[in-house]
Chain A
């Protein structure tokens, strides 16, 4: 078994209303110095050895992310393959 983390974020060019709202709220709370916020999704998958990197990539691309407007990063937390 391995733990796989998939982070999905709106593409840099795509408007991220949620991230913008959070960034503005920081300003109102008196926090300065935060130039930009992007809000995404964090998936934690417990997978067995039959799931290889290509399969993970496929899962991320076809299910977890919407490639039209999101980008993603897949990384394995255990088993040494990152």
Chain B
């Protein structure tokens, strides 16, 4: 049946009628990533074999990446633990393109993190760029104007050969796309670890702002309404890419259902996306859109089946109307194409002309490619023949669901037993100073300016704080002082030691970062990066992390509004560190009152909020000084974390703080160094009172701690506030001078710290 046309090399059209007539025809479902029973299920659904085009649609939509088949049973935990009280401000949650939170005054905020890991390994620049493009379109599809991005990057060791290819490429890609789009980059993370060599993680976050009444959801309702495909033309980009890319085998791939060997890389055009953003916003303002969906992974397969199944159920599409960039594309190729910068809208017939006029104004190509029908059929034609006729829900939502076996690995006991108790600790003032500088200049903790100076943070003029601040702070609207704060975090070393506790700690740190600005945390988005779900030990890490995160969100009363799962981040049998990246959104009542990052003015007092225990397992100190990873992560008490966040918000509202910085990697020592370096001023401090030895006091990574600067007149108020709520607090000293003077430690010259902190990344990446 697939005898190729001798002249063109193009296979004849595999129509539905043809499929019904040739049940014995063998199809390459295994090469498309489908298992025997999955293929059998498709035949059962259709009552015949699928056409080539249908097979392409099912295979991509039932892939791990699109169907969440291995994670679904666990992700239900997020829904189960979210109470109605937590949902109170949610206008849209998990299952939509992105969660939407009502923030008051008629404003809403939508945000989401998504991974683009494997593409960023294959082609770092384009992979990272299209990762940013994809998440921005998710935000646009909610009816919002995208207003900022952040990114969490994880790569192999700084001096590993492939890091020199991957990191600069990824950074230039993130910068190129975000800068060209005019979205300020507020910061994020850059983490080095050997497990990310060959498995870099590129997690991109986008946040958007909308008026509540402009909320748009992806559904195709209203029989007779038109389906408009607009934006870039459809070409041979990433055909079959989603299935192949989400597969553990990194082979050449890209063959998909197509006949030719096609590139699996997608090229991003941020200029086209910028124009598409403005075009979409004008369409929304004019009220011309009933429903909208972005085209990302799985392209039209995903957009048509999801729109149809979320609406009235039926849809007719004519592929001959799709504006193509390449000639001779088969229906399967058009449906699987992952060409970037495209959107799909549902428009009432009377508004089609007005819709087209707006697209014309922005030079955006738009075509009516079909319409909403009644019934349960998604019917797609090519050259007048029906090539797809499927119940859309079976493609978009009724994919396979697996309860993969999971088991705590035997090695976990040994890992947790290998604590830091036996490691030599520094004791003399000179040793302590030397290790403080060693940490501050280590790849793990050195300045990220080499990365973040490649990102525009100013554009749109609403950025009140960006990296190296713990949280990005953004003014929502010029006419009000209302703002938002955002942070993304994950300490994956802690997650390896205890995935459940590590996930809780990731949430705690992200909340703390947002709280450092005085913002009140209100919502969570996550990006769960793990190894192969077919490995029971990895699946155990995943299950533990999800359950831990879901329960932690319930304890804090803030909902997970959406997110993304990325599996198969592993090389042979070595999986990445379990990396559940957690993004937290906070609300700021008055951006002018947001607490600045770092130290305050000379003479301001330095206070440490929170209690320090001897918790060095998994710490940066253990990693940098002793190359050690073992034991148990710090304790995580979210009630204590919430109390600290409350003190920060209340204190900020009363102007009690002139500076703040959370304590995390590197403990108190690193927090003091970063405050001094970022504010270019010294301080004279003692170590917090207690029984701890100086190394523990300086390098312990106990949670729920914050270093704050307090103007002289505000100290009594802060003390009173802390007593009222039972917040442990200690006055350590004062800001001032050009030396960081820590009692019991040799003095550290701030100018020298600045150089040591700044030099590490350039010394390798510019070499």
Query: Residues of A with Cβ closer than 8 Å to B?
Result: 10-17, 20-21, 24, 66, 68-69
- Note all chain B residues with C-beta closer than 8 A to A12: 326
- Note all chain A residues with C-beta closer than 8 A to B266: 15
- Note all chain B residues with C-beta closer than 8 A to A11: 263
- B 196-241 contacts with A by CB, 8 A: 232, 235-237
**Contact present for A13 and B267 (CB under 8 Å):** no
Contact for A13 among B123, B235, B269, B363, CB less than 8 A: B235
Interface SS of B by simple majority:
loop
- B 244-297 contacts with A by CB, 8 A: 262-263, 265-267, 269, 271-272
- Note all chain A residues with C-beta closer than 8 A to B122: 68
Tell me, rounded to whole Å, the shortest Cβ–Cβ distance linking A37 to chain B: 13
- Sample 18 A-B pairs with CB under 8 A, ordered by A number: A11-B263, A13-B236, A13-B237, A13-B262, A13-B263, A13-B326, A15-B232, A15-B237, A15-B267, A15-B269, A15-B339, A16-B267, A17-B267, A21-B271, A24-B363, A68-B122, A68-B265, A69-B263
**Contact present for A17 and B272 (CB under 8 Å):** yes
- Interface 1/0s, chain B 337-366, versus A by CB < 8 A? 001100000000000000000000001000
A16 to B269, CA, bound (A): 8
- Note all chain A residues with C-beta closer than 8 A to B339: 15
A14 to B232, CA, bound (A): 13
A13 to B232, CA, bound (A): 14
Q: Is B110 an interface residue (CB 8 A)?
A: no
Q: A10-B267, A13-B263, A15-B266 are in contact. List 12 more A-B contacts (CB 8 A).
A: A11-B263, A13-B262, A13-B326, A14-B237, A14-B267, A17-B269, A17-B272, A68-B122, A68-B123, A69-B123, A69-B126, A69-B263
A68 to B272, CA, bound (A): 22
A25 to B158, CA, bound (A): 43
Q: Is B72 an interface residue (CB 8 A)?
A: no
- Note all chain A residues with C-beta closer than 8 A to B43: none
- Note all chain A residues with C-beta closer than 8 A to B654: none
Tell me, rounded to whole Å, the shortest Cβ–Cβ distance linking A61 to chain B: 15
CB within 8 Å for A15 and B123 given contacts A24-B363, A69-B265, A69-B267 = no
- B 144-185 contacts with A by CB, 8 A: none
Tally the A-B contacts, defined by beta carbons under 8 Å.
Answer: 40
- Note all chain B residues with C-beta closer than 8 A to A14: 237, 263, 265, 267
A15 to B271, CA, bound (A): 13
Interface SS of A by simple majority:
loop
Q: Is B325 an interface residue (CB 8 A)?
A: yes
Query: Residues of B with Cβ closer than 8 Å to A?
Result: 122-123, 126, 232, 235-237, 262-263, 265-267, 269, 271-272, 325-326, 339-340, 363
A13 to B324, CA, bound (A): 11
**Contact present for A15 and B325 (CB under 8 Å):** yes
- Note all chain B residues with C-beta closer than 8 A to A10: 267
- Note all chain B residues with C-beta closer than 8 A to A21: 271
- Note all chain A residues with C-beta closer than 8 A to B263: 11, 13-14, 68-69
**Contact present for A17 and B123 (CB under 8 Å):** no
- Note all chain A residues with C-beta closer than 8 A to B235: 13, 15
- Note all chain B residues with C-beta closer than 8 A to A16: 267
- Specify the chain B residue showing the minimal Cβ separation from A17: B269
**Contact present for A17 and B325 (CB under 8 Å):** no
A30 to B338, CA, bound (A): 33
- Specify the chain A residue showing the minimal Cβ separation from B239: A13
Top 8 A-B residue pairs of the complex, sorted by shortest distance between their CB atoms: A17-B269, A13-B236, A15-B267, A68-B265, A68-B123, A69-B265, A14-B267, A13-B263
Tell me, rounded to whole Å, the shortest Cβ–Cβ distance linking B94 to chain A: 32
- Specify the chain B residue showing the minimal Cβ separation from A13: B236
- Note all chain A residues with C-beta closer than 8 A to B326: 12-13
A12 to B123, CA, bound (A): 18
Tell me, rounded to whole Å, the shortest Cβ–Cβ distance linking A64 to chain B: 16
A54 to B596, CA, bound (A): 59
- Specify the chain B residue showing the minimal Cβ separation from A20: B269
Tell me, rounded to whole Å, the shortest Cβ–Cβ distance linking B122 to chain A: 7
- Note all chain A residues with C-beta closer than 8 A to B126: 69
A12 to B235, CA, bound (A): 10
Which of B263, B265, B267, B326 lies at the interface centre, i.e. has the most chain A CB atoms within 10 A of its CB? B263
A68 to B254, CA, bound (A): 11
A59 to B16, CA, bound (A): 49
- Note all chain A residues with C-beta closer than 8 A to B237: 13-15
- Note all chain B residues with C-beta closer than 8 A to A13: 235-237, 262-263, 326
- Specify the chain A residue showing the minimal Cβ separation from B123: A68
- Note all chain A residues with C-beta closer than 8 A to B265: 14, 68-69
- Note all chain A residues with C-beta closer than 8 A to B271: 17, 21
Tell me, rounded to whole Å, the shortest Cβ–Cβ distance linking B249 to chain A: 17
Tell me, rounded to whole Å, the shortest Cβ–Cβ distance linking B270 to chain A: 8
A77 to B28, CA, bound (A): 47
- Specify the chain A residue showing the minimal Cβ separation from B261: A13
A68 to B165, CA, bound (A): 14
A12 to B340, CA, bound (A): 16
Tell me, rounded to whole Å, the shortest Cβ–Cβ distance linking B60 to chain A: 18
- Specify the chain A residue showing the minimal Cβ separation from B272: A17
A17 to B339, CA, bound (A): 12
CB within 8 Å for A66 and B325 given contacts A10-B267, A13-B236, A24-B363 = no
- Specify the chain A residue showing the minimal Cβ separation from B269: A17
- Specify the chain B residue showing the minimal Cβ separation from A15: B267
- Note all chain A residues with C-beta closer than 8 A to B340: 15
- Specify the chain A residue showing the minimal Cβ separation from B125: A66
A66 to B165, CA, bound (A): 12
A16 to B272, CA, bound (A): 12
A11 to B326, CA, bound (A): 12
- Note all chain B residues with C-beta closer than 8 A to A20: 269
Which of A11, A12, A14, A66 lies at the interface centre, i.e. has the most chain B CB atoms within 10 A of its CB? A14
- Note all chain A residues with C-beta closer than 8 A to B123: 66, 68-69
Tell me, rounded to whole Å, the shortest Cβ–Cβ distance linking B644 to chain A: 47
Tell me, rounded to whole Å, the shortest Cβ–Cβ distance linking A38 to chain B: 12
A17 to B235, CA, bound (A): 13
A12 to B272, CA, bound (A): 19
Which of A13, A15, A16, A20 lies at the interface centre, i.e. has the most chain B CB atoms within 10 A of its CB? A15
Tell me, rounded to whole Å, the shortest Cβ–Cβ distance linking B53 to chain A: 19
A81 to B269, CA, bound (A): 39
- Specify the chain A residue showing the minimal Cβ separation from B237: A15
Tell me, rounded to whole Å, the shortest Cβ–Cβ distance linking A36 to chain B: 10
